[in-house]
Amino acid sequence: MELDRNRALKRIREEYREIESNPSDDFMCGQLEREEFQFQWQFAVRGAKGTEFEGGIYHGRVLFPGEYPSKPPSIIPLTENGRFKTHTEICLRRLDKWKPSCRVRDVLVDFIHSMPTSPDDEVCSLKCSKEERLALAIKSRAAATTYSPFDFERQKLIDQIHKYMLSKAPAVPFPSNGTGSGAVVYNVSNGTGGGAAVYNFSNGTGGNVIGNAFHATNSGAVVYNFSNGTGGGAAVYNFSNGTGGNVIGNAFHATNSDRVGILGSMNKAAVGILGSMNEAFIRGGGPLVTVWSILSTIFLLLLTVLQTL
């Protein structure tokens, strides 16, 4: 048994050094230094190009058995992805057909390629629409997966891996409905029971970009700067703080716009005013719902007028 363990550790270290010396843009692995973590890695992969997972960053764990490589490792996803269950050992073709000559690098590549495939009623799989998966891909970039609020060393490693993958994974491409009119809408739960996050993307014809996003850690707001691709429209964002109250903020996309000065100068004032209104809305509720709706409409009408000047 001890001989098997030593052989396994030798192979694990060998593979880890190989990945470090020959890094990939598609995945990254990390290992905690303490002895009790010698048989496990943290990893993150980026979603495959040309799929609804493109641009997403998906974290997970690799658990090695004491008989490795005679027996395969276990892959446990940590990031919501719409294809595999999280915190559960998953099934992959490479693992099912495992040979001692196989390596973790091969398994992670297989994991990436398996994400856009059909679940086929696998116990570890989920059946989600492409729209839901795309929304989760956007959400996955907002912040690194939180493993445990008390495991600071592991969380630091996860954050480091996430930062690296952000530098390698391009932003999630904004979809178009392909008709030149209307917006594409994606719904995904914020994971707290507090409603759905709706992402409305521009149709690429100069319309406004409207998005509603939830912070991955359920604390504070996260800003997504979506461009309509023409420089002619304003982008309006509504954020949830993940605790039941809405954090309302407006930001204006000024890049490539001939109204940069106007929109830029309005932005701080607009966010401040709406932020104050939001605090009152959360505390008071009731009649402010109607007031907020009226003021929001007036504000957007004024914005439209200013854009035409």
* Of 91, 102, 124, 128, catalytic: 91
Using CA atoms, how far residue 197 sits from 140, 145, 180, 226, 241, in Å, is: 13, 18, 24, 15, 12
What's the CA gap between 213 and 206, in Å, rounded? 22
Distance in angstroms (rounded) separating the CA atoms of residues 119 and 123: 9
Which pair of structure tokens corresponds to residue 259? 């109204």
Residue in the block written with tokens 């969380």: 155
91 an active-site residue? yes
Whether 173 and 55 have beta carbons less than 8 Å apart is answered as yes
Residue 54: how many CB atoms within 10 A of its CB? 18
Rounded to an integer, what distance in angstroms lies between the CA atom of residue 181 and that of residue 183? 7
3-class DSSP state of 92: coil
Q: Which residues are catalytic?
A: 91
